[in-house]
């Protein structure tokens, strides 16, 4: 009896999986809302703990380690880059691993273990080396949570609902970006390191409970059928059929602006058909042939530039606040609020626009909008409260543009790979290449976060803060042009076809 009870407990905790006995709470644990909420909490935790220490890093380096003021900017940029660099290396590995194991839950929990270790080291570290190791562990955690989380999200809601789902998730996790720097500055000033990291450990505990409880839909179907031999393919086939039915119903009453740009169904399928003579490496990493598609490459570029901009703001806002306005960590944290508020409000709206109007108009409009906004960041000068308010207002305008460039990349990449999977189901296998896709997406995004702080730090010192933003505006202009040409398919004006 005791052995049976213990077995049921292990099954409920998903430590063992006896499909003949349903775990407690199967329905609500495999509910779409709970799965999406778990992904959102995981991404929130990653960004919150990342942002919690950003505004206090300059003060940690000076107060705890004793670095001179002139060495702070380079070390802040280096620590931010260590996080992103680790994520660059580990993201594709996380994707390959996730596509080769039966569930997403285990690697999801491994990522959280790395985050716990990172938070402990940040709490006790008193040297640059220890802080660098902590940031590397944070990067490893980010690689797993973003790769596994986005793949799990796509499998749960389907590509036709991915835009508004991602928009809503990004809006929620923007609260982490919004309040973490502010909260970090407040707690550091009022309660020191204990206050800052105490709240971090509490959020990790909540995240751990949700990741432990979640049950993927394909796993839930195995329990419901009481068939231990049911394959992932059965669950994926049912899910795919539901998605295809949804798209067919939607085509009857919704005019998709991008469809005429892609040609007939036969032409569309032919463009996504992969040759049978693929190199041996492609059989082990099946996402590789998809990388020849300019739409997918442009989607990755959109993610890279987005991360580059975010890394720039993370690295420069605290130092600009200190140099221009001579403020403490609390007021430096407050300057992150305008960026986050815009994302919080506009994120779901832009996500809905992506689902309704397509990825091209949202991506092109958002990057075009950012060009003049970044240029006018040249206006603020060292001074008092008036200059600080001007700077905060311009950061709010930047936040509006940043809110629009998150969803198009993820949705476009997912749509392209989904098409390859539909046309070449045997090549990609039972689970498809989605975790590999989001592993690459996370790698590219992390590369932007790696280069962003370094580029910002170097340009700010060499050509000044205003001219640095002029360079970023030029990058946004280039990205807007490439989005117009490739994202969502080639526009009719360039295709040479008459409809």
Question: Domain span at residue 178?
Answer: 23-220+284-495
Tokens of 53: 């220490």
Tokens of 197: 């990291």
Q: Do residues 298 and 436 lie in contact, with contact meaning Cβ atoms separated by under 8 Å?
A: no
Give the single-character DSSP code of 263. Answer: -
Residue 275 lies in a domain: no
Question: What is the residue-level pLDDT of the chain in tens, covering all 499 positions?
Answer: 455 555 555 555 555 555 666 777 778 888 888 888 888 888 888 878 877 777 677 777 777 777 777 777 777 777 877 877 787 788 878 877 776 766 677 777 888 888 888 888 887 777 888 888 888 888 888 888 888 887 788 778 776 666 667 767 776 776 666 667 667 767 777 777 777 778 888 888 888 888 888 887 777 787 777 544 444 444 444 444 444 444 444 444 444 444 433 444 554 566 777 777 777 777 777 788 888 888 889 999 998 998 888 888 877 887 788 778 877 666 776 777 777 777 777 877 887 788 788 888 999 999 999 999 999 888 888 777 788 888 888 888 888 888 888 778 888 888 888 888 888 777 776 666 777 887 888 788 877 877 887 788 788 888 888 888 899 999 999 999 999 988 887 776 665 554 4
Residue 271 lies in a domain: no
| pLDDT score of 373 | 92
| pLDDT score of 380 | 81
Token pair 């991008």 in the structure block, residue: 258
Q: Do residues 217 and 30 lie in contact, with contact meaning Cβ atoms separated by under 8 Å?
A: yes
Instruction: Output the CA torsion sign for 229, 425, 356, 486.
Output: positive
Cα 436 from Cα 430, distance rounded (Å): 14
Per residue in 318-332, pLDDT tens? 778 877 887 766 677
| pLDDT score of 230 | 43
Phi-psi category of residue 264: left, alpha or beta, with phi > 0 → left and psi -120 to 50 → alpha: beta
Helices (H), 64-161: 72-98, 105-124, 128-157
Residue 239 lies in a domain: no
Tokens of 65: 């380690």
Tokens of 167: 């928009």
Q: Do residues 331 and 389 lie in contact, with contact meaning Cβ atoms separated by under 8 Å?
A: no
| pLDDT score of 227 | 47
Residue 126 lies in a domain: yes
Instruction: Output the CA torsion sign for 218, 226, 38, 108.
Output: negative
Tokens of 285: 């990493």
Count CB-CB contacts under 10 A for residue 432.
24
Residue 479 lies in a domain: yes
Task: With residue 354 as reference, give the H or E element that holds it.
Answer: helix 337-357
Phi-psi category of residue 472: left, alpha or beta, with phi > 0 → left and psi -120 to 50 → alpha: alpha
Residue 140 lies in a domain: yes
Tokens of 56: 């206090």
- Please count the CA atoms within 13 angstroms of the CA of 177 that sit on its side-chain side: 23
Question: For residues 126-160, b (16+ Cβ closer than 10 Å) or e, as one string?
Answer: eeeeebbbbbbbbbbbbbbbbbbbbbbbbbbbbbb
Four-point Cα dihedral 465, 469, 472, 473, nearest 10: -160
| pLDDT score of 371 | 94
Task: With residue 338 as reference, give the H or E element that holds it.
Answer: helix 337-357
| pLDDT score of 251 | 44
Helices (H), 358-487: 359-375, 385-403, 407-423, 425-428, 434-462, 465-486
Residue 355 lies in a domain: yes
| pLDDT score of 17 | 58
Query: Considering the chain, what is the average pLDDT of its residues?
Result: 76
**Among 341, 363, 340, 339, CA closest to 351:** 363
What is the SS3 assignment for 476?
helix
Q: Do residues 43 and 55 lie in contact, with contact meaning Cβ atoms separated by under 8 Å?
A: no
Write the CA distances from 85 to 77, 88, 138, 288, 377, integer angstroms: 12, 5, 10, 21, 28
Question: For residues 333-353, b (16+ Cβ closer than 10 Å) or e, as one string?
Answer: bbbbbbbbbbbbebbbebbbb
Token pair 């999801």 in the structure block, residue: 108
Tokens of 26: 């199967």
**Among 164, 3, 137, CA closest to 79:** 137
Cα 111 from Cα 342, distance rounded (Å): 29
Q: Provide CB contacts within 8 A for 354, sequence distance 6+.
A: 163, 164, 167, 362, 407, 408, 411
Tokens of 291: 């990388």
Three-state SS for 76-98 is: HHHHHHHHHHHHHHHHHHHHHHH
For the chain, how many structural domains are there in total?
Answer: 1
The CATH number linked to 334 is: 1.20.1250.20
Residue 249 lies in a domain: no
pTM as predicted: 0.69
């Amino acid at each position: 009896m005791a052995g049976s009870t213990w077995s049921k407990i292990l099954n409920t905790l998903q430590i063992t999986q006896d499909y003949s006995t349903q775990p407690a709470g199967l329905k609500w644990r495999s509910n779409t809302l709970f799965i999406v909420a778990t992904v959102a909490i995981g991404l929130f935790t990653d960004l919150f703990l990342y942002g919690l220490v950003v505004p206090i890093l300059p003060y940690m380096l000076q107060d705890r380690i004793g670095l001179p003021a002139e060495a702070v900017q380079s070390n802040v940029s280096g620590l931010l880059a260590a996080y992103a660099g680790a994520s660059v290396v580990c993201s594709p590995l996380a994707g390959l691993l996730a596509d080769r194991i039966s569930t997403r839950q285990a690697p999801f929990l491994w990522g959280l273990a790395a985050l716990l270790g990172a938070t402990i080291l940040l709490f006790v570290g008193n040297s640059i080396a220890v802080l660098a190791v902590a940031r590397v562990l944070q990067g490893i955690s980010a690689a797993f949570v973003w790769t596994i989380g986005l793949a799990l999200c796509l499998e749960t809601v389907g590509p036709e609902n991915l835009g508004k789902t991602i928009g809503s998730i990004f809006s929620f996790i923007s609260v982490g970006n919004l309040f973490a720097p502010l909260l970090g500055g407040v707690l550091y000033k009022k309660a020191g390191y204990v206050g800052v990291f105490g709240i971090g450990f509490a959020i990790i505990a909540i995240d751990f409970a949700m990741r432990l409880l979640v049950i993927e839909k394909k796993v839930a179907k195995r329990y419901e059928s009481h068939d231990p031999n049911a394959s992932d393919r059965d669950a994926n086939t049912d899910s795919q059929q539901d998605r295809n039915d949804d798209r067919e119903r939607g085509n009857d009453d919704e005019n998709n602006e991008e469809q005429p740009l892609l040609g007939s169904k036969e032409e569309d399928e032919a463009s996504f058909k992969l040759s049978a003579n693929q190199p041996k490496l492609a059989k082990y990493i099946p996402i590789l042939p998809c990388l020849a598609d300019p739409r997918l490459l442009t989607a990755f570029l959109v993610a890279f530039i987005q991360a580059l901009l975010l890394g720039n703001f993370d690295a420069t806002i605290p130092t600009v606040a200190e140099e221009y306005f001579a403020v403490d960590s609390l007021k430096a944290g407050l300057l992150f609020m305008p960026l986050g508020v815009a994302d919080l409000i506009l994120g779901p709206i832009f996500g809905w626009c992506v689902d309704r109007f397509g990825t091209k108009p949202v991506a092109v409009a958002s990057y075009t909008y950012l060009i003049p906004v970044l240029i006018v960041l040249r206006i603020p000068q060292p001074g008092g409260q008036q200059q600080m308010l001007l700077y905060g207002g311009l950061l709010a305008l930047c936040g509006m543009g940043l809110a629009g460039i998150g969803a198009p990349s993820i949705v476009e990449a997912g749509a392209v790979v989904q098409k390859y999977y539909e046309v070449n189901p045997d090549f990609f296998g039972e689970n498809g290449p989605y975790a590999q896709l989001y592993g690459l997406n996370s790698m590219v995004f992390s590369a932007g976060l790696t280069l962003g702080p370094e580029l910002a730090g170097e340009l700010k010192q060499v050509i000044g803060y205003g001219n640095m933003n002029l360079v970023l505006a030029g990058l946004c202009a280039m990205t807007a042009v490439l989005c117009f040409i490739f994202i969502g398919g080639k526009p009719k004006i360039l295709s040479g076809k008459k409809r």
